Amino acid sequence: MPTSLWLRSDGAKRGPRPTHTLSDIAATCVDLGDREGMRALSMRRVAEALGTSAASLYRYVSGKDDLLALMADHVAGEYVFAPLTGDVRADVLAVAEQSRVLHQRHPWLREVPATDMGPNTVAYLDHLIGALAPAELDATATMMGVALLSGWVTNFAAQESAGEVASQSGGGAEHLVAMLAHGDYPHLAMLFTRSGDDAPTAPIDNDAAFVAGIDAMLFGIAPPDPQGQPRIPRS
């Protein structure tokens, strides 16, 4: 298997001493992505921003995949992890809210595949595993939980970046009510009838929807024990 970018040895490389660090390259890539989007990212553009040539850039990275890995890890370095409290829900939400903000700040982040984890990304993984630890899940359930939670945040933030809000999902309640008049949708009709009105009385708040999603994920990751007691109490 190819060696991770962060584990490659520079000992065998010849030539002049490197003038840039991986951190320099990562910051340049992130700035380019924030300003112009992922379409602007190329070895040539990054090299120009660094004041060097694309050929020289290959001394540090093997290609665009390495640039993407550097970008994701650089953004992961923006997390500020508070000490874990042992309250799974509170600790997971603290990380998830930060992740949501980072995805809003760097919309391109959702386009970066998680193929090569650097030290900052591993620190994020380590902290989230620690947040889930009191639930006493096995390794498989824990890693699946991390994947589910991270995926929820990414998808939710992507919709927010596109200007979508939970209350307008699918066109919103007004659209659904209008559609009810043009077709046979018994389950929707029953749902709205039970609400005591033609539509849900309270609009869906994006923040509330985000937290509800995290709660649903946690319930699925760590369902109640055989006695029906919650493994992750709601704080």
What is the reported pLDDT for 201?
A: 47
What is the reported pLDDT for 6?
A: 85
What is the reported pLDDT for 197?
A: 53
The closest alpha carbon to 72, from 140, 150, 20, 144, belongs to 150
Q: How far apart are CA 67 and CA 5, in angstroms?
A: 10
Q: How far apart are CA 57 and CA 47, in angstroms?
A: 6
Amino acid at 206: N
Q: In what helix (H) or strand (E) does residue 222 lie, and over which residues does it extend?
A: none
Token couple for 172: 């919103």
Q: Please check whether residue 79 is in contact with residue 98, taking contact to mean a CB–CB distance below 8 angstroms.
A: yes
What is the reported pLDDT for 233?
A: 64
Q: In what helix (H) or strand (E) does residue 197 lie, and over which residues does it extend?
A: none
* Terminal C-alpha separation, the chain: 44
What is the reported pLDDT for 198?
A: 46
Domain residue extents for the chain? 17-75, 80-164
Q: How many C-beta atoms surround the C-beta of residue 197 within 10 A?
A: 11
- Which stretches of the chain drop beneath a pLDDT of 70? 1-2, 9-18, 164-174, 194-204, 228, 230-231, 233-235
The CATH homologous superfamily of the domain defined by 17-75: Homeodomain-like (1.10.10.60)
What is the reported pLDDT for 99?
A: 94
